[in-house]
Every structure is written in structure tokens, then in C-alpha cells.
Amino acid sequence: MATAEPTLSRARGRAVTALTFERAALITLGLLWLVVVTGGLVRLTASGLGCPHWPTCEAHSFVPSTGYHSVIEFSNRVISGIAMVAAVITAVIAFRLPGLQRAVAWGAAAAAAGTVAQVPLGAITVAFDLNPLLVMSHFLLAMAVVAVATWVTFHAVDGAHGGGREQLVWTRPALLGAAAVVLCLALVTTGAFVTAAGPHAGATDRPIERFGDFYDATWVHVRAAVSFATVFLILAVVLWRTARGSLAQRLSVAGVVLTLCQLAVGEYQYRNGLPWEVIAVHVAIAGTLVMTIVTVASLVAYPPASRGAGSLERG
């Protein structure tokens, strides 16, 4: 007992560090991006019912034993499970980190809750034979979680490097950044409606069940894309003129390039019969674009405190 008590005291005395939070947040964000990409592959390769049972893949087997469809879907389940554990651990670390803003800790908790919610939602989606509305909600929840986790990761990285950003300041760039985030999420949402109305049913052994009219959904999606691209381009120009050389300005250029690539990929897939491989690239770029836009918006909305001299701004 005499030796156990000092050991226990030392364990309790170890405070969670900002560096630990940063690493956990970065790992979680990477895993959540993989959830989006692999989830898209499940739908696009018609592997949605590759594992007909939940949580096991097959009735008498935990792991897939037949066909690549089951391997693809099971891989997504495994990655989603790991991401869920990572998100929960990150949230626990956030609440234990001394001095962390409560809003950031609750953001980590929201990301964890959204990731955990994917488990029953995925089971319901399989149980209802990939109803397009359920498949769409599954994807949109994943993208919303990525957006929140990106905001949390921004604060985690900044806190680990002494940035000391504490106040949200609604400058003109910050307002443009917020508008860009909203329009980017609207773009993702309208894109999900296009997919729900499109030819990819999600499984090969069932008729295609579509939601809405494909051309109407595409019409809305294109206008959402133009609106987002316009606002983000304006933000990039403002940052070029007022904050040239900063991380926010450099990332805004990267965001513009990603946006142009996304527009080109979207146009190509529309004019070439919606090949699933191209749509998969479209989904991967969408996830990357969401992370980029949220990071740029965070950089301009949370200016560095004078004492921190902007560690993230030095990139």
C-alpha cells in the first residue's frame, strides 16, 4: 500500500497536455476523413449490402468471407469504429485539458456524439435496404462531423503551439469565411441530393431507388457551387490584399485550387455518365475542401493574441 499510493498520486498528478490533445485531434480528423471516403466507396461500388448483418458482417461470421463488396463495407465499418473510439478519446482529453475553452471541449464532444450516432444510423440504413434518404443522412452527418472536428483541431493545434487565440472577432474576412463555410456545407448537401437522385443504388441485388429528380437536383447543386466559389474567391482576394504571406492566405489559394478541381471533376462526371470512380474522387475532394474552408474561416475569425504572435499564422 505504501508504494501504491505514491504511484497513484503521480498518475493523478499528470495533467493532460496540449500536445496530447493536438495529436488526438489530428488523428481523429484523419480517421473521420477516411470514414467519408470509404463510406462513399461503399455506395458507389454498390457494396451497401455487402454485409447483411449488424454489427457482424454475416450471420455466422464477424469478418467478410465472400466477395469484394463485403470487404469494402466491412472496411468502412472497421474504420468508422476506430474513428468513433478516437473521437470519444479526443473529447475526454478536451474536457481534461486545463485552460481549454469550454466551447472547444463541447465541440469535441459534439464530434464524438455524431460519430457514435453513425452506428445506429448505419444499422437502420441496412435494415431499411439502403433507403436513399437514410444513406444521404449517413453521409451528411459524416461531413458535419468532419467540419466540427476541423474546428476543434484548429484550436488544438494552435493551443499546442502557444497561439493563444481566445476571441472571435467578426471582421469582414471573418464574415466572408463564415459565409463560405455555410455555402460549402450547402454545396455538400445539394450534392448528396444529386447522388440520391442518381443511378448509384448502393447495392447490386436491388432495383435503383431514387429520391427526387436528378436534373432538378443538379440545377440546384450547380447554383450552390457557383455561390460558394464566388464567396470564397472574394475571401481569397481580400486575404491576398490584406494578409499576403499568412497561413490563411496560403490556404485560401489552396482552397481555390481545390474548388476549381472540384468544379472540373463535377463537370466531367456529369458529361460522362457519372462513372463511380470519378464520383469517388469528387467525394474525397469534398471532404478535403470542407476541412480547408473551415480552417481558413477559423484563422480569420480568431486573430492571434498579441502575446502569441500568431503561431499558426507563421504556418
Q: Give kind and range of the element (H or E) at residue 53.
A: none
CB atoms near residue 233 (< 10 Å): 16
The pTM of this model reads: 0.85
Give 259-266's long-range contacts (Cβ < 8 A, gap of 24+).
259/228, 259/229, 259/232, 259/233, 259/289, 261/285, 262/225, 262/286, 262/289, 263/225, 263/229, 266/225
Q: What is the mean pLDDT of the chain?
A: 83
CA torsion sign for 262, 267, 270, 273 is: negative
Q: What was the pLDDT predicted at 166?
A: 58
pLDDT higher than threshold 60 for residue 169: yes
Q: Which of 139, 141, 83, 86 is nearest to 280 (CA)?
A: 139
Residue environment code for 118-137, b if the CB has 16+ CB neighbours within 10 A, otherwise e: beebbeebbeeebbbebbbb
More confident residue, 245 or 58: 245
Q: Which of 111, 99, 42, 92 is nearest to 71 (CA)?
A: 42
- CA 143, chain centre distance (Å): 4
Q: Which three cell numbers stand for residue 76?
A: 468502412
Q: Which three cell numbers stand for residue 123?
A: 444499422
DSSP state, residue 15: P
pLDDT, one tens digit per residue, over 101-155 is 899 999 999 999 999 998 888 778 777 777 778 888 888 999 999 999 999 999 9
Cα gap 184→297, rounded to integer Å:
12
Helix (H, G, I), strand (E, B) or coil at 60: coil
pLDDT, one tens digit per residue, over 176-222 is 999 999 999 999 999 888 877 766 544 444 555 567 678 888 899 99
Q: Is the Cβ–Cβ distance between 250 and 299 less than 8 Å?
A: no
Give backbone dihedrals phi and psi of 254, rounded to 5 degrees, phi first: -60, -40
